Structure 1
């Protein structure tokens, strides 16, 4: 069985969805957890309660990843609480779907790129500065970066850029034994835009039709890979992007 005992993990955007699933998985494996949230304090407190009930150590830190000073403070508070950082998951992001290239606005572009690109870049930069030797850095990308879908130009573009940084960072800090990888989930059930989307929605049905396994990705599917990348078994895997979509065309 994998163990993350004596490890400290920082997961951005971990008050809900994929970030929550990864935080709770790491806690179940024995890691101390830094839950990050931007606005939803109530959800962050729920995650803290869940992790505390597992017997793991946990703190919640409010920080907006679009603000570099907030990112720096997030890492500083993590080290103040636990003394070190061994695992960083750059997960915070927002979606923008079903929007043709001819229709997106400057405001929409700026907001998505501010969170998904700027936020990811400075989270990964701070991770590189603060993570312990032999640590693990993981970026949560999107299958829109591998299977271009109409209406996803802004979102897919914003998730593509940090994948390049993953490969660069793996080369720049690999000498410290640190691995840097990205997870590329397919459309994830019950998260983001799918939280309120009905299962009879034409878009949902189209995605389902493209899946040979007859379902969308789940948060546990992604947490499984996050567990692998955080542990010893992936110690010589770096600069890689692992697609988790069950062979879907999306």
Structure 2
């Protein structure tokens, strides 16, 4: 089995596609490219992709639409490329399920560092969230399936989680009823790669609340501690 990570670069700019393909190949990645959403789906149907680098501005279905559709179908990590200064688009991208973003114009080395960080999180955090022998835990009527990286409601409906949501929930269930500051959550979910990404914690919490809370506007599972951070309130039990 070839364990070299396989990246898919989706960008309508041929120069950027070629640049990233060459640069990532030099750093021991396999790289496929696609110029739009249709090409992206064709590659995903025929190849095992470990991470998608997805441009926000694409012809036809844009990156936000593709990000949402991809996240609904799978948990493949997504790093989004966004225009410099488009803060709203970056936040929406995270809301749609992107795991990280890099603004254009970008330094390829920064993108490389973020790709490596996202892949490390995706590969390592199941064990960090819970002991390896535990494949699922229960809380507040939900079953958190660590192997499938999803949560299952009391009536059996499975809800997929993005890498960021999975990382955050794994951290919460490993530290129930403990107030965790944003810095602590960053360190536990993203390690030293977090650098200036702290605003994503609030975004990830918001997304997770919409999936697990009865009323996301009045959260009872993940409560905000003003001036402190967040606390995961329910009792957590093993499967």
Tell me the TM-score range normalised by the shorter chain. Answer: 0.3 to 0.5
Which structure's relative contact order is higher, taking Cα pairs within 8 Å and 6+ residues apart? 1
Normalising by structure 1, we get a TM-score of 0.39
**What TM-score comes out, normalization by structure 2 length?**
0.41
Q: Of Structure 1 and Structure 2, which has the larger fraction of its residues in strand?
A: 2
